[in-house]
Structure formats: C-alpha cells, structure tokens
Amino acid sequence: MANRWWIYQHERFPVLTHGLLIAAFSFSAVSVSSLLRGRVALPEARTLLVACLTTFLFFLELRIADEFKDFAEDARYRPYRPVPRGLVTLKELGRVGLASVLIQLGLALWLDPALALLLLLTWAYLGLMSQEFFIPEWLKKRPVAYLWTHMLIMPLIVLYATACDWLVAGGGAPAGLIWILVASFFNGVVIEIGRKIRAPEDEERGVETYTFLWGRGNAVLAWLAAMLLAAVAALLAAHRIGLTAPLLGLLGALLIAAAISAWSFLHHPMTRRAKLIEHMSGLWTLLTYLGLGATPLLWRF
C-alpha cells in the first residue's frame, strides 16, 4: 500500500517539489499580508502552519479533482497514468480528498472560525472547476477561456492564505493585497502554459498542449507575456511595502533567463529545452514568492 502511494505521488503529485513551492507560496502570502498591515516580523508559527498545510491540501484536492475529471480521457489516451493502469483507484483518491477537506476545516476552526467562510468559497469554486462549470464542450473549444477560468482558483487560494494573517488579526484585507492576488493569477498561468509546452516528438494524440493548440511561437509568447504581467503585479505589491528595488533586480534577471530559454526552444524545439521552460516556470514562481515574502523581511532586518 505504501509503495503504491509513493509511486503515485512521484508520478502525479511530487510531495517534496510541491511542498517547497507551496511553503514559499504560503510564507510569502502571510508575510506580505503582515507587511501590508505595517507589521514587520516573522509570521507566527500557528498562522504559518495553517496557511501552509491548508494550501498544500488545496493543491492536492486540485490534483484529485483532475483525476476524476480526466479519467475517461486518460483511460483512452494515457492508459500509462496511475489511475487508468490501476495503481490507485478513484475511490481511494476520493477518501484522501475527503480526509483533506476535514483536515482543512479543523485547521480553520482551530485558528479562527471566520476562516471557514473563505474555505467554503474556495471549495465551491474548486467544485465548479471539477465540473468544468457545467459547460465542458464550450470551454474545450475556447482554450483561453478554459485557462483563465481555471486559474482564478489561484487568487482564491492566496486570499485564504493571506486571511490567515489579516482576518485573524481582526482587520479587513490590507490595501495593496489585490496585487498579490493578480500576481498569483499570472504565476498560475506561467506554470500552466509552461508545463504544456512540448517538443514535436513529445506531443501525444488526444493531449491538447499549448504548442499543439497555438503553435510553438504563440505558446512561448503567451508564456513570456504571463511572466511579464506577473512581474508587474509583483512589483506593484513590492512598491506598497517600499521594497521595489531588490525585487526588480531579481525579476529582471529571471526574465532574461526565461527569454533565453524561450529563444533556445524556438530555435531547437527539443525535449530537454521544452523541459527547461517547465523548470523555469517553477523557478520563476518559487523565487517570485520568496522575493515578495522573504526578501522584504531580510531587507528590513
């Protein structure tokens, strides 16, 4: 049993990789919320614990929801994946999903019962996503609409993580929080497009990657545009806490590295260069959140 789940997480939800990114994501959300309120201090351990664990479980629930939503398509086109090949079952994943929901609810009630309302809001949107908003065919024909409707879950998750600070502190959402939410939306787009940019030899029948839907050039341009918009939003958030300069240097260097990766893939569309774009997406997101959350605290102290 343990070995089956270890293989599943390795293939579909790498706990260590996802955990590090989600920890940075959560730390940044809580820290920036605190800084926007004028409080320059490390987050309280209890607040950070709830934000990190709840956020991790949100992303786990997204993976489980995708397994249910995509089962028929995976069985037809991707039988090598864990669920179609019988490594784990949808029933087992459903139990894991239910356990994660109960843990999230318990954490919310422990930190502040008012958090349960935002928890319900995020669950509701996740539920709509799992049903493709009851218009699956319409969305399937419109990749851009599909992308933005599904990426709106990111600001909701960030809103919840930040609420572990500002709501528990007894105030309303701090001014400038909107830019963190906008940055999280575009960072989600960066990750989503980056993981679906493929070399020609890696395209699979029935798998609608962005290189297949839009062509290599347009897919890469959309990836870079999302990164640039995420950078603008992140810098506007940094400006609210008076620390634009260090983040500007970091994001500028990352944008140059991303542009080089894009140029390399467009001129030589090979598997390893497509993977470089995917890895660059993760690095961009990780360092953006650390830049917003950790750099301001180090800069101040």
Listed by start position, the domains of the chain span 1-169, 175-301
For 183-224, what is each residue's pLDDT tens digit?
A: 999 999 999 999 999 999 999 888 889 999 999 999 999 999
The yes-or-no verdict on residue 156 having pLDDT over 60 is: yes
User: Average pLDDT of 124-142?
Assistant: 94
State if pTM tops 0.85: yes
Task: For residue range 52-109, list pLDDT tens digits in order.
Answer: 999 999 999 999 999 999 999 999 989 999 999 999 999 999 999 999 999 999 999 9
Please tell me the predicted confidence (pLDDT) of residue 20: 84
3-state secondary structure labels for all residues of 186-250:
HHHHHHHHHHCCCCHHHCCCCCCCHHHHHCHHHHHHHHHHHHHHHHHHHHHHHHHCCCHHHHHHH
Q: 140 and 181 in contact (C-beta within 8 Å)? A: no
The CATH T-level fold of domain 1-169 is Tetracycline Repressor; domain 2 (1.10.357)
Q: Of residues 294 and 300, which shows the higher confidence score?
A: 294
Whether the predicted pLDDT of 39 surpasses 90: no
Mean pLDDT value of segment 230-235: 96
Q: State phi, psi for 104 to the nearest 5 degrees.
A: -60, -45
Q: Which residue type does 275 have?
A: K
Task: Note whether 265 and 276 are within 8 A (CB).
Answer: yes
Q: Is the pLDDT of residue 301 over 60?
A: no
Q: For residues 159 and 11, what is the distance between their CA atoms, to the nearest angstrom?
A: 29
Region 7-33 average pLDDT: 90
b vs e for 144-181, b when ≥16 Cβ sit within 10 Å of the residue's Cβ? eebbebbbebbbbbbbbbbbbbbbbbeeebbebbebbb
